[in-house]
């Protein structure tokens, strides 16, 4: 029971660290995901409200009605989970981030359980501590996207796979987490494949491997059938085209998304050092070196831990475009990095304690923990304070305050809309069209603006000056900061 008191304190510490920025608007690094999934969640809530007779929610123009079921690029679980927390705690940044925060705590707990099962309670506890001290966990542990949901589900599934023979209950829970993991996103398939191979080759459990394979194929077929039924067969083709783009295999990919393999490897190594720290990367490398030294005496525990490495590394190697653009895709490696680093550290400390002095080993442990905590602290604080999506948030708030829910808004800047549109729609909760208009367009079609209640011009964004003069002459307007709102219905 004493060790569970320690893990409780670790989880409490993790909760405190993760909860510092829960209510921050979606304006920071990779917060586009929060705005996107938030917009989709609002549509789920609108659909749910109609079913229950409550019509207080308003849908958005960016998410089409047939996406009320799910966003077809991914399997359907994520927005359903966000909807559940929004129903329970209200629709806001806190409720959306709360899901990933709670699941991050689940991941820390199961990292401890795996370390304890494979090696020792010391390895498990240290691995959980290493996890919550990394910039990867402290910033992306509350990211409203797939990885902070997938990795906890996968970590739990992996633990119950390791204890599969323990009881019927463990077997049921394993299949439950396996199914949730596969329904969450495609990264789950990489762990499922690793478990299938391990079960077949090392456990000689071909029946389990077959069951996992059937479940994985079943989820895949369900997804294809669903998107074909809802959006048509062409959507399945589009799905594969999108997949090719994400693995950097699409000739139609924009030039900005092209990179050499050397550039890719260099970038991923830099991401790893930044988000996992040099200390943990070196300790993990030492774990690999120790495997070479063991040669034929590699333990079952080492082989099992290697599955977690294969899970994370295979995903980023296959979806190179995705990983190159999104640094947090390395999140899948977090359980392995923490566990392998903890094992190496405990091995070193045991050696020092026996051969040198126990007090020296305690000092080394403290230095390792402080080193991980402070190595990238300035970068972590910079991440937490990022606000480069503030213009989209600001405009969204202005629109929400100055317009009615039924109003249609024309944002005369496709450039602004392409970059900030998701944020603007999340905070405005209005039907917004972003496009460029020339004075020639207005001459050709004098009724161009009739469908819109407001037209918005953004300061320092390209616009036909004649269009701006026309709007100022014809409509009443109000300038708020960098935004001028023209009331086109007066």
C-alpha 180/C-alpha 178 separation (Å) is 6
Kindly give the confidence (pLDDT) of every residue in the chain, 490 residues in length, as a single tens digit, with 9 standing for 90 and above. 688 899 999 999 999 999 999 999 999 999 999 999 999 899 888 877 766 655 454 444 444 454 455 577 788 899 999 999 999 999 999 999 999 999 999 999 999 999 999 999 999 999 999 999 999 999 999 999 999 999 999 999 999 999 999 999 999 999 999 999 999 999 999 999 999 999 999 999 999 999 999 999 999 999 888 888 877 788 777 777 777 777 765 555 565 567 889 999 999 999 999 999 999 999 999 999 998 887 768 899 999 999 999 999 999 999 998 899 999 999 999 999 999 999 999 999 999 988 888 889 999 999 999 999 999 999 999 999 999 999 999 999 999 999 999 899 999 999 999 999 999 999 999 999 999 999 998 989 888 898 899 999 999 999 999 999 999 999 999 999 999 999 987 6
Supply 19's token pair.
Answer: 């909860």
Helix (H) or strand (E) holding 456, with range, is strand 454-458
8 A C-beta contact, residue 429 and residue 39 = no
Structural domains in the chain, CATH included, are 112-384 (no CATH), 390-487 (3.40.190)
Q: Strands 431-434, 408-411: parallel, antiparallel or unpaired by DSSP?
A: parallel
d(CA 188, CA 159): 14
Burial of 334 (0-12, 13-18, 19+ CB in 10 A): buried
| Residues 38, 425: Cα–Cα separation, whole Å | 10
């Amino acid at each position: 029971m004493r060790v569970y008191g320690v893990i409780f304190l670790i989880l409490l510490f993790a909760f405190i660290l993760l909860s510092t920025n829960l209510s921050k608007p979606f304006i920071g690094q990779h917060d586009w995901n929060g705005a996107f999934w938030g917009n989709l969640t609002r549509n789920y809530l609108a659909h749910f409200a109609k079913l229950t007779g409550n019509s207080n929610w308003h849908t958005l123009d960016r998410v089409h009605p047939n996406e009320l079921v799910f966003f077809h690029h991914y399997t359907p679980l994520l927005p359903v989970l966000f909807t559940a927390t929004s129903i329970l705690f209200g629709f806001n940044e806190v409720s959306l981030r709360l899901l990933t925060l709670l699941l991050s705590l689940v991941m820390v707990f199961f990292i401890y359980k795996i370390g304890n099962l494979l090696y020792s309670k010391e390895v498990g506890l240290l691995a959980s501590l290493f996890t919550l001290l990394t910039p990867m966990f402290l910033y992306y542990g509350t990211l409203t996207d797939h990885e902070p949901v997938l990795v906890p589900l996968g970590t739990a599934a992996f633990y119950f796979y390791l204890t599969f023979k323990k009881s019927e209950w463990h077997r049921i829970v394993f299949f439950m987490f396996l199914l949730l993991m596969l329904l969450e996103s495609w990264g789950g398939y990489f762990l499922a494949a690793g478990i299938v191979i391990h079960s077949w080759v090392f456990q000689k459990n071909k029946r389990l491997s077959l069951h996992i394979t059937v479940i994985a194929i079943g989820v895949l077929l369900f997804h294809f059938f669903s998107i074909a039924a809802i959006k048509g067969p062409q959507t399945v083709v589009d799905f594969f085209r999108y997949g090719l783009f994400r693995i950097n295999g699409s000739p139609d990919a924009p030039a900005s998304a092209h990179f050499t393999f050397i550039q890719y490897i260099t970038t991923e190594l830099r991401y790893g050092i930044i988000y996992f720290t040099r200390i943990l990367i070196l300790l993990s490398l030492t774990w690999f070196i120790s495997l070479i030294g063991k040669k034929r005496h590699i333990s079952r525990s080492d082989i099992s831990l290697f599955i977690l490495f294969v899970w994370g590394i295979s995903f980023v190697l296959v979806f190179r475009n995705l990983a190159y653009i999104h640094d947090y895709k390395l999140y899948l490696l977090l359980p392995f990095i923490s566990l392998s680093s903890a094992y190496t550290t405990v091995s070193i400390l045991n050696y020092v304690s026996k051969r040198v002095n126990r007090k020296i080993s305690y000092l080394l442990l403290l230095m390792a923990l402080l080193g991980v905590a402070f190595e990238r602290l300035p970068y972590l604080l910079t991440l937490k304070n990022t606000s480069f999506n503030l213009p989209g948030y600001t405009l969204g708030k202005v629109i929400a305050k100055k317009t009615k829910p039924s109003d249609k808004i024309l944002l005369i800047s496709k450039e602004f809309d392409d970059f900030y549109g998701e944020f603007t729609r999340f905070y405005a909760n209005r039907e917004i069209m972003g496009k460029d208009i020339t004075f020639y367009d207005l001459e050709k079609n004098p009724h161009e603006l009739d469908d819109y209640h407001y037209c918005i011009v953004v300061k320092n964004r390209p616009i036909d000056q004649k269009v701006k003069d026309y709007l100022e002459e014809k409509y009443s307007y109000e300038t708020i900061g960098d935004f001028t709102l023209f009331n086109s219905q007066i």
